[in-house]
Amino acid sequence: MIIRWVHIIAGTAWLGTVVAVVFVLVPSLRRLEELEQNRFAQLVFPRVFRVASVLSVTVIAAGVLLYFEKVGWRFDLAPLVSTRWGWSILIGAVLGTALTAFHFFAEHRLLPIVKGSDVINSRALLLLRVAPRVGLGILVLVVVLMSYAAHGG
């Protein structure tokens, strides 16, 4: 039961982090002057990236543990491809894991730009505007799939 709560709370916090980035942080960043943008980005985004990293890895680890608990702690992938519940879990897990991998890739590319220059370039601003929106859509889909599975899918 504790694993499930860790999974749910971390997943909710991850989703909330992305919502905050999409609807609060990036719009605020875009309204600032260039030099203020850089200072704001240097202060806020490394922390946000770190939080999202920890939360996404926590969600995945807890999800894996939940699955193994559900199948009796044995390596059995058959339930993932033989039921609607399994397909919901599998698709949600693949999307969440892919989003986490992309997050680490994007973070690795964005942090040097944010930390190392006086002005954030337009490419970094575009990535900060588009990637979280796509991520939000994917996370909402993952939540819908996992909710479906949790309710007997």
Which pLDDT tens digit goes with each residue over 132-153?
999 999 999 999 999 999 998 6
Eight-state DSSP code of residue 76: -
Query: How far apart are the C-alpha atoms of 92 and 85, rounded to whole Å?
Result: 11
The more confidently predicted of residues 69 and 122 is 69
So where are the chain's domains?
2-150
Judge whether residue 39 has pLDDT over 70: yes
Distance CA(135)–CA(152), nearest Å, equals: 26
Question: Are 126 and 30 a contacting pair, CB within 8 Å?
Answer: no
Q: What's the rounded mean pLDDT across residues 97-106?
A: 92
Residue 60: the pLDDT is 98
Residue 83 in tokens:
């039921």
**Secondary structure element (H or E) that encloses residue 105, with its range:** helix 84-116
Q: CA-to-CA distance for 102 and 137, rounded, in angstroms?
A: 14
Distance CA 62, CA 47 (A): 22
Mean per-residue pLDDT of the chain? 91
